[in-house]
Structure 1
Amino acid sequence: MFPAENLRDWRGENVVDPEGDKIGELEAVYVDTVNDEPAFATVRVGIIGRHRLVFVPLAGATVSPKAVRVRYDKKLVGNAPGIGVDGELAASDEPSVFAHYGLPYDSGFSGARRLARR
């Protein structure tokens, strides 16, 4: 996987699914607090005036000249748990983000949050 600081440089670029269909624009990167590696990104989806940020795993993501390609279908990502564009993911909502993609969830050290925005 690529370093988080490099992935943050992709903020505002398109996020596409395996077929190349645009999902939305990369908003932020969330790292796993256990290993400090990029784990999820938020993607801005919706229409003007009705945007929200949805979460998508970064495992297996690749970059091309103008897009980040994720391993998940546009419809699955579009239906993912999300937050408002000015919102913040609550620690209690983290398990649902992982569950949406069928990923195992364990809290961070001593029950701390698992995801941190970078």
Structure 2
Amino acid sequence: MPQPDTTHVASIGRTVFAGDGAALGRLSALYIDTDTRLINFGALTLTHWGRRHTVFVPLDAADLAANSLTLRCGGHLVRHSPKVQVGRGLPAESEAALYAYYDMPYETPIDATRRMLPAP
């Protein structure tokens, strides 16, 4: 069994920017793909009009700098992304829709279990 990816672990708490340069919020959690053992999504805490909510953001092709993380997608797409409660996995029946939202390929796991879980 491959070891889990740890590339983005140090990015928790960093400021996240959209691909268009807009500051979005802070990365609050990481999610691992149970098939590949790679960290492929993060939970991003946004503050908008004094309200906080957390959304899923794809970390593939994200640019990790010393104090920030820049996503490949735009701010508008991120702000309207499916919401998440930090530390909880995405329900299995919602995973395909999340991947489709970000125009990412998705294969349903053979055993019909979750594919995305909070990273340890």
TM-score tier (shorter): 0.7 to 0.9
Using the alignment, how far apart are the partners of 1:75 and 1:27 within structure 2? 19
Q: Say whether the 8 Å CA contact 2:27–2:43 is kept in structure 1.
A: yes
Superposed structure 1 runs of 4+ greater than 4 Å apart? 85-88
What TM-score do you get using the length of structure 1 for normalisation? 0.85
State the identity as a percent: 28
RMSD (CA atoms): 2.1
SS of residue matched to 2:81: coil
Question: Where do 5+ consecutive residues of structure 1 fail to align?
Answer: none
What are structure 2's unaligned runs of at least 5 residues?
none
Q: Residue type matched to 2:35 in 1?
A: V
Question: What does 1:1-118 correspond to in 2, within 5 Å?
Answer: 4-47=5-48, 50-85=51-86, 88-118=89-119
Change (3 A) 1:53 1:4: farther
* Matched positions, count: 116
Aligned residue identity for 1:9: A
Q: TM-score, normalised by structure 2?
A: 0.83
Tell whether the 8 Å contact from 1:52 to 1:85 is kept in structure 2 after alignment: no
Question: Deviation digits for residues 72-96 of structure 1, max 9, x if unmatched?
Answer: 0011011111124575422222122
Q: Deviations over 1:41-80 (max 9, x none)?
A: 1100124863221111111111112111110001101111
Counterpart of 1:114 in structure 2: which amino acid? R
